[in-house]
Amino acid sequence: MSPRKPWRLAGALAAALVLASACGSGSGGSGGSGKTRTFAADNGSVTIPADPKRVVATGYAVPVLIEAGAALVGISSWKRGLPMMTAEDRAAYDELTKIAGETAAETNYEAIAKAKPDLIVIGVPKPVLGDLDMKRLESIAPVVAIGPSVPSAWRDLSRRQSDAAGRLQNFENRKAAYEKKAAEIKAKYKDALAGLKFGHVGGYGEASSGTFQREFTGSWGTNIATDVGATYYGQVKKKTGGSGDVSEMPSIEELPESLGDADVITYTLQADGTPGASVKYVLDSKLWKNLPAVKAGKAYGLRYTEAATYASAIKTLEAIDQALAPLLKK
């Protein structure tokens, strides 16, 4: 998905969100011995190697499977995630053959075939699977596909991606490191965050349309902060599915109504620490400057809110810790 388009915008999401995985069951064993297992994916029950030796991954599966040490032979480009990669993972990313661009439309079927994969891990929302030539992909290798729901679903989706690639243990190690870090920060802020109502301004608003993005629990800007004890109040006025269940696009005139009761407001920053155009539009508004939380000096920018792997989410945790530090001061 484009990092500047919300999940509920299915068309834009379809093009760029290529996030893959599958849930496995059945016999275990080695791919070299020809053993297989069955995965239940959006494209049905798929028979895949129990231990894949040549994996192609696209979209959000790219950082997940790089981190998990999967046997990758080809990946799509994933420029939006580069700022969140470790130096080691970035080096691996740079060395891997690119078989697709940033969007589903940029899938290079010839390049995928040339990579001779024994498993293709690819995913888009169910409604958008039609944008891919699935039959062509399936003629090359088994394909597992599963689409996203709400942004916070990256936890389960990344686990299933790793499982499909036969690297579940590696994934569990990363997960454990994240949970340890989150628990430490949560303990650190336990008293400071108690009773506070948080609100969040996301990065997907449209300044040209006079709207901003209000994110609630389970959305991009909130789901990791929730792990350290932040409580985001409220809910969308009308659930529309996907990210539309956890975020909405009010007009800028609705800013006081939407965030007027917040004790603390967080807002999305780009990887370089600056606000994107849609967030800057909000920050420059007189209505923003008059919000109680802003006037009280309790508005904080958060970096790396689009993390979708446990390793990258550790960077998000560190950014949250840094941003909320003023709340620890008496």
26 and 141: one domain?
Answer: yes
Separation between Cα atoms, residue 35 and residue 49, nearest integer Å: 6
Q: Is residue 157 part of a domain?
A: yes
Q: Is residue 112 part of a domain?
A: yes
53 and 147: one domain?
Answer: yes
Give pLDDT tens digits along the chain (330 positions). Answer: 433 444 333 333 333 333 333 344 433 334 455 899 999 887 889 999 999 999 999 888 899 999 999 999 999 999 989 999 999 999 999 999 999 998 888 999 999 999 999 999 985 666 667 778 999 999 999 999 876 778 998 999 899 999 999 999 999 999 999 999 999 999 999 999 999 999 999 999 999 999 999 999 999 999 999 999 999 999 999 998 888 899 999 999 999 999 999 999 999 999 999 999 999 999 999 999 999 999 999 999 999 999 999 999 999 999 999 999 999 985
Separation between Cα atoms, residue 264 and residue 246, nearest integer Å: 18
Range of the domain at 199: 189-328
DSSP string, 51-83: S-SSEEE-TTHHHHHHHTT--EEEEE--GGGGG
Structure tokens at 179: 């949970």
* Cα 121-2-101 angle, rounded to 5 deg: 50
DSSP string, 5-23: S-TT-HHHHHHH------E
197 and 231: one domain?
Answer: yes
How many Å separate Cα 6 from the centre of its chain?
A: 11
At residue 28, the 3 state secondary structure works out as: coil
218 and 295: one domain?
Answer: yes
DSSP E strands, the chain:
23-25, 36-41, 44-49, 55-57, 72-76, 98-100, 119-121, 143-144, 198-202, 213-215, 247-248, 264-268, 299-302
Q: Is residue 2 part of a domain?
A: no
162 and 263: one domain?
Answer: no
What is each CA distance from 197 to 25, 225, 266, in whole angstroms?
42, 13, 11
Q: Is residue 212 part of a domain?
A: yes
234 and 294: one domain?
Answer: yes
Minimal CA–CA distance to 252: which of 218, 222, 279, 221? 279
Q: Is residue 99 part of a domain?
A: yes
Q: Is residue 231 part of a domain?
A: yes
pLDDT for 125: 64
| DSSP structure class, residue 141 | S
143 and 224: one domain?
Answer: no
The pTM score is: 0.87
161 and 215: one domain?
Answer: no
| DSSP structure class, residue 99 | E
85 and 215: one domain?
Answer: no
16 and 139: one domain?
Answer: yes
Among 114, 132, 166, which residue terminates a domain?
166
Q: Is residue 171 part of a domain?
A: no
- Count up the domains in the chain and report the number: 2
């691996």: which residue's tokens?
92
CATH of residue 18: 3.40.50.1980
79 and 113: one domain?
Answer: yes
Among 151, 166, 181, which residue terminates a domain?
166
What is each CA distance from 212 to 124, 247, 285, in whole angstroms?
26, 10, 11
251 and 211: one domain?
Answer: yes
